[in-house]
């Protein structure tokens, strides 16, 4: 069950004499310097706090206006439905079937 492929064994044995690569001692600091230089050169645009608050207030205003319009449309729709039903069944004021209690 423990059969090994001779080609695999040969490849592994060829790696026995290799040494592990050792980086320069200042490599990490060079990488950090290069990243800092790239970040400094990049045109990073920062958004002010006032702009964030303005966007949040605009969004809140938009949401509240939408909610108000939906509620207003719903009330107008219900009133239109009641009025159309009253007209359809001759229950509107001024018709013969309308009873007025005074």
Letter string b/e over residues 20-50, b meaning 16 or more CB atoms within 10 A of that residue's CB:
eeeeeeeeeeeeeeeeeeeeeeeeeeeeeee
User: pLDDT tens digits for 7-28?
Assistant: 888 888 888 888 888 889 999 9
What is the pTM for the complete model shown? 0.37
For 25-69, how does the pLDDT look when each residue is reduced to its tens digit (9 = 90+)? 999 999 999 988 887 766 667 789 999 999 999 999 999 999 999
What pLDDT was estimated at residue 1?
41
């Amino acid at each position: 069950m423990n059969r090994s492929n001779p080609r695999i064994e040969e490849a592994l044995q060829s790696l026995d004499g290799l040494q592990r690569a050792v980086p320069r001692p200042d490599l990490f600091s060079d990488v950090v310097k290069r990243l800092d230089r790239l970040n400094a050169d990049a045109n990073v645009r920062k958004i002010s706090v006032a702009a964030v608050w303005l966007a949040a207030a605009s969004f809140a205003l938009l949401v509240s206006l939408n909610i108000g319009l939906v509620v207003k449309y719903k009330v107008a729709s219900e009133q239109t439905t009641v009025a159309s039903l009253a007209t359809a069944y001759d229950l509107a004021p001024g018709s013969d079937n309308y009873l007025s209690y005074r």
